[in-house]
Amino acid sequence: MVSTESLRAEKLFSAKGHVCVVTGGGTGIGLMATQALAANGAKVYITGRRMEALENAAKSHSPSQGGEIIPVGPCDVTKKSDLENLVSQISKKEKHIDLLICNAGISGPKAEPESADAEELKERLINSESFEEWSDTFNTNVSAVYFTTVSFLPLLQAAHSINGALSSSVIVISSMSGIMRHAQGHFGYNAAKGATVHLSKLMSYEFKKAGIRVNSIAPGYFPSEMTTKESDEKQKSEMPQSKIEEKGHVPMNRAGSDEEMAMGVLFLMKNKYVNGEIIAIDGGVLLEVPGR
């Protein structure tokens, strides 16, 4: 039995003393997650392929008190040697990590299936994409999530000696696109994110023996370099309202906010009774488009 005082939000969702790692943490959803963790007291190591972007993100968004944002890398998550080097760098500074967020991803090729004529459909799709592009999309969005998580398992398990069983966890950033049947012109990306969703479930079952929880956030439309193709001087992106209205299937009629992503990240990090779940933060899109 706990006191009412113990149920204050700042106690329930405090990240004070936590050590976290976020891949692709310099922009977009990765940066939103990083800010949420650091704002609530965590030490957050962010990594990615572009050190300049990581350093700029840390400079622009480190909290004035409490947590820290620390660039580390560069790291290409599709290369085992980079992952091994990343773990080595962090191991020299930390004895454990409490949270790993696998966020790095790419959108891959796009081909709209706009024609009802099979010949036109074939020509449009087969000439717009390649096996190599599909492989790159799967390598980054699926295979890299697996190898990144596996690389950090010892540091994640080491957290138990400090914070108790099932205290460490992994959050995989998948996508609502991996749950819907609408291809959105992104057959490769949506197929890969479907695999990412299932991979999260597989890892949650297999890694529970090691005492490590694995959950996934399936975002809808959030501003990021993937969705807007650019970032500003503070590594932030802006999604025009007109782009959401064009979609015609977003009940909230706007993009998701930094605050809404932050709430999802803190919930999955702190609630030890949640394991193997896919949390869609999508503004209701999956109520409008066909899903699984």
- Give the active site residues: 174, 189, 193
DSSP string, 267-289: HHHH-TT--S-EEEESTTGGGTS
Q: Name the H helices within 139-281.
A: 144-157, 160-163, 187-206, 225-228, 241-247, 258-270
Report cis status (omega within 30 of 0) of the bond before 240: no
Taking the C-alpha atoms of residue 152 and residue 100, their distance in angstroms, rounded to an integer, is 8
Closest CA to 213 of 173, 177, 182, 171: 171
Go through the chain and tell me how many residues it has: 292
Work out the angle at residue 177's Cα, subtended by the Cα atoms of residues 176 and 180, and round it to the nearest 5 degrees: 90
Q: How far apart are the first and last CA of the chain?
A: 40
